[in-house]
Structures are given as C-alpha cells and as structure tokens.
Amino acid sequence: MHKPRFTRDQLITSSFATRHFGQIRVHAQKEPLVIMDNGRLDTVILGYAQYEQLVGRLLELEQIHEAGVLEERIERLQKSPDVAIPWRQVRRSDPNE
C-alpha cells in the first residue's frame, strides 16, 4: 500500500496548531493538513466534505468487496452443490440456542 504524501505546506507543528487553530481549520477545507509531534506524523485534519468523500468511498469499496465474495460463493455452490450446508443445520449450530 502506498502511503500518502504531503507537501511542506501541509505539515505543521503541534505548537503551531495550538496557537493558530482557526487558521488551520480554514486551510484544511482546501487540503488535508498533518500535525507533527516531535518530528513524527501524528494527526490529519481535513474538511468535513473531504471526510465525507473518504467515508463514502470506503463504504462503496466495502460493498464491492462483499458483492465479489458473494458472487464467488454462489459460483462455488453452482459448481459443487454438495458443499452447501442446509439452513436448518446452520441454525442448530447456533450456540445461543
């Protein structure tokens, strides 16, 4: 997996963030900012619209992945119906019963 890259303008110190939070909030609407603590990447600040896009894309990718898993299982059952487990058997194996 590739790590995100940030420009020098996107990196701010935690002390700067403490003193200039209002300015940071405005800037974060345009592009994500990274707060550095003792020289290491610590916290990312981004505008709500960007956050909403990230979460929406993540949910979309999860749905695509789940659909792929289901398609794979259906194909496997169509090729080998004998591997299927009857629903009644699955229900009986419920530890809560």
* Residues 14, 37 within the same domain: yes
Are 6 and 32 in contact by the 8 Å Cβ rule? The answer is yes
* pLDDT the model gives residue 93: 64
Tally of domains in the chain:
2
pLDDT digits 0-9 by tens, 28-74: 999 999 999 999 999 999 999 999 999 999 999 999 999 999 999 89
* pLDDT the model gives residue 87: 77
Residue 73 lies in a domain: yes
- Transcribe the chain into DSSP letters: -PPP---GGGEEEHHHHHHTHHHHHHHHTTS-EEEEETTEEEEEE--HHHHHHHHHHHHHHHHHHHHHHHHHHHHHHHH-GGG---HHHHHHT-TT-
Residue span of the structural domain in which 76 resides: 49-80
pLDDT digits 0-9 by tens, 63-96: 999 999 999 989 988 898 888 888 777 776 656 6
Residue 24 lies in a domain: yes
Residue 12 lies in a domain: yes
How far apart are alpha carbons 88 and 70 in whole angstroms? Answer: 20
Residue 88 lies in a domain: no
